[in-house]
Structure 1
């Protein structure tokens, strides 16, 4: 992944850490940067399991998001 990928569209799906899968919520974002910020927020607020699919088809796991969603890295 390169910095230019942060400006491409992405879809975020947030799965609850405790609860039925049917309560997952999906949203589209105009940039991966926005999706990562929302994913990090959901982890902190709800201890959720966010997954992101990028415009190029990459699938970013909760572990990858935790390791790479630092706001300073997204600048």
Structure 2
């Protein structure tokens, strides 16, 4: 299984928390990043990690979506559309 992220989105996630992208099989292209998953379970695990990161970094104290959360939701939506 393969997903493609814009390089800027990948860099953003890495800046937020390197754990989001840790251990992934990543292939850098000129303007994008391909992430290879061995199976559906590994993709689902990464999806869970991204979701938890959105909750942790993307909500303020009143549980409102902040700027980081908005950007992370946009990245998530781009991935989900594939």
TM-score (norm 2): 0.33
Flag the structure with larger Rg.
2
Higher percent of residues as strand: 1
TM-score (norm 1): 0.36
Higher percent of residues as helix: 2
